[in-house]
Structure 1
């Protein structure tokens, strides 16, 4: 899969692409200071009542002449009555590129979750938010959420690996200074492409962090063998889920572990031998792979033992006329379904085993805000009426125009910068989360690349969940994930 296709597949919660340029007149921007909205709330998180401030604020990024060039909107939730010097704070962003923080903000960690579709969307309390333990700052990079290039300026300087990392790092540095939090323990959380952004921010070194959290790690192993070796265990877990292999009393985790052991021993040895591998040995390896991942040995052998995601996803359930998802291999879609633009063609997009919420008999109120058909979408109603933030922009959950404009600057795996930073700073810790059924960022691929990047294992916390790309879509995982995050920020 190309990096461009990967980026599209890894964007999670979607709305239409929308416009990139700011809707605000240039004169209006020039005449005002960055906007700030502050409100106070009470919630119950982890069984504890928490009073907190919500702070929605703009940070103006400037051009070379010092003029405001872009506005980045952050949404912070800060526990009241806590000592700022000892209270940990976490800066959070998603990936894409071009994706807002929506999945993490309104699906995992924010004090409210968004449920339902269309006019039936509602905002409900999120008891699993870790706000009892850590302050949260959600960052929507330029072109996502309410963040925009300002009139007369282009967004392209921010739509590259280096430009994006520098801009988000500057936002964090500015936010810490503006809010008197330079002494606070600091954590950085990125999901999907956001893991690459996090590594590049750490490399810049403009802000020091106590810990980095990587969800659905983007890893790019090089060579003729390792891309295939590191995918195989996730194929085995998905095959287990769909009962395409003999479970023989084994759990998905046991099958995954068995596949990892095979992948880094017999399988990688066979791939290294290439054309010199004897025919009988090739057949034996193909049969062993078949037993693990459910594809016919003949098909595996015809692919020279090297399977791409497309081979696995479209062949595993072909006898049923189905394909699997990529963001979540448990999902399925008919092979003859109408073609859709990526990433909408992936049945794993937003997949969850939880049933959709039933439509309420009457529009519920969230802190006095009713989500009715006459109101804007629940998310925008929440910003305007609960958080008191008024914007001329429309909240953009995913901007495919940003994704199309992105400059990957040659690509390459950025995770080595994390290993280098951890070698230089003996106090820096890493928290890595992966989903057992995620084929987009396979779990073993993440583990392999972290090991090769020189990350000290004693300072790595690894958490694997029975889920897909976004492990928090199901309640059991969401609660366990929040508990693991609490433990990480309280070492």
Structure 2
């Protein structure tokens, strides 16, 4: 009996000790979890627990126009799940929120992304909008590695909180194990997943009452236009403004191909600007400033040139010869070459031909940059000197350095900056025709009449020429009261406007005015 009592006593004692140890273990585990996801002093192993929304918060500051802005940066993952709770994917993001803002109904939030499709958001993040920027020459040349970043005095953080989104397949964002990445890699699939992210972030951070903006670059403008309508229809979320940087809304305007004559007149003003830049035009045209020259080229493009292309083989000999002479006049290319193209100079031909005698090629993303091919024959360039040799290295190194050093975020995953994580893109919603999201944007502007659209373009951008974006906006069928909500701004830069220091500075001035005017209308 005594033995039984002692045994029972010992059992109760062991049980109490076990419960204490168990409770202590749970507390330690919880403390470790909190440290991993919230403490800026931690060294998290992100990706070790894919079912958890891992984030890390850090503090920072940026000086804009002499004023110090203190902010909290949140870096990590947002989980996308089915309604049944099954994990579908993890979207990586970096969000900056200004400290000590008590009334979020007066503090905007701007959701930002880049293009591709297949591009992470590092370009806008570290080029113009975020609190840090990559250090480059004033022209936009890469400096000697290792590359560096600095305080971005031209950041938009003084006007709005910022959320930089890497869609699935870009940056560190991935489909969940067992989930086919094709579920995210298409126009409609991308709109739905990024839209879900925006809904989740808005809800989790109590930002439904905040003014909201979308800002995209390149294919990101395609996404932003689609999102403007999708967010309204799916979630009843209405945004105050959309920023379209180097826009492409109708892919017919940039797709050179037999039977599609639309790109030729829309690219001509950019050809003229580039030929002017390299002093390949007549003294008469070289004496003009860039805006005057391109305006003159635009008039020829949409009148005589476009009419000639519409007429096709029905052009008279006199009409044909007139167009040949004027194309040579505005491009600096020989009349012989233009006749060989049958009045249709596609982009690869122009980039190879303009500086062929000098043994150089012209960049696509930014025609201010030149390269050299293995030889000077052929009708297309072997690479884009404005991408490979200018931006990829500095931005990738700068972004990864910044995340590890200041955002306290590292990962063993490959950070996909452009391509690599994205396969074939699905355009099933526009099978056998060109993707054109302008109608989605028009619908959004119709149902949200106060939404302001800001379109930015570069004269030296051959990826998404500025005249093409204006053409699309002018063919949306906007009523006068809607058209007044659209603003165009052009810069003497290429696709990535902000690598050119004077353009970066002007973008900040223009962004100040855009936010001020848009927010002034909020009652």
- CA distance, structure 1, for counterparts of residue 143 and residue 354 of structure 2: 31
How does 1:9-408 map onto structure 2 within 5 Å?
A: 24=47, 28-30=49-51, 33-63=52-82, 65-82=84-101, 83-115=103-135, 120-204=146-230, 205=232, 206=235, 207-218=237-248, 219-221=250-252, 224-248=260-284, 249-336=287-374, 345-349=383-387, 377-402=397-422, 404-408=423-427
- CA distance, structure 2, for counterparts of residue 85 and residue 24 of structure 1: 34
For the Cα contact (< 8 Å) 2:352–2:381, is it kept in 1? Answer: no
Cα pair distance change 1:260/1:46, threshold 3 Å: same
Cα pair distance change 1:388/1:90, threshold 3 Å: same
Bigger shift: residues 137-146 or 327-336? 327-336
Cα pair distance change 1:406/1:474, threshold 3 Å: same
TM-score (norm 1): 0.84
- CA distance, structure 2, for counterparts of residue 448 and residue 148 of structure 1: 36
For the Cα contact (< 8 Å) 2:134–2:148, is it kept in 1? Answer: yes
Give CA deviations for 1:31-75 in whole Å, capped at 9, x if unaligned: xx3012112222201321111111124211124643112111111
Number of matched pairs: 443
Unpaired runs of at least 5, structure 2: 1-44, 136-141, 254-258, 518-523
Tell me, what secondary structure is at the counterpart of 1:267? helix
Greater fraction helix? 2
1:483 to 499, 509, 514: 509
Matched, 1:429 2:452: yes
Cα pair distance change 1:196/1:335, threshold 3 Å: same
- CA distance, structure 1, for counterparts of residue 243 and residue 185 of structure 2: 23
For the Cα contact (< 8 Å) 1:39–1:53, is it kept in 2? Answer: yes
Cα pair distance change 1:426/1:439, threshold 3 Å: same
Higher-Rg structure is: 2
For the Cα contact (< 8 Å) 1:220–1:227, is it kept in 2? Answer: no
CA RMSD of aligned residues (A): 2.6
Tell me, what secondary structure is at the counterpart of 1:231? helix
For the Cα contact (< 8 Å) 1:23–1:393, is it kept in 2? Answer: no
Give CA deviations for 1:127-182 in whole Å, capped at 9, x if unaligned: 11111111111001112112111222221101111111100011011001111111
- CA distance, structure 1, for counterparts of residue 374 and residue 443 of structure 2: 47
- CA distance, structure 2, for counterparts of residue 349 and residue 379 of structure 1: 16
1:378, distance to aligned residue in structure 2 (A): 4.7
Give CA deviations for 1:272-307 in whole Å, capped at 9, x if unaligned: 221111111110111011111111122212322122
Unpaired runs of at least 5, structure 1: 1-21, 358-375
Tell me, what secondary structure is at the counterpart of 1:130? coil
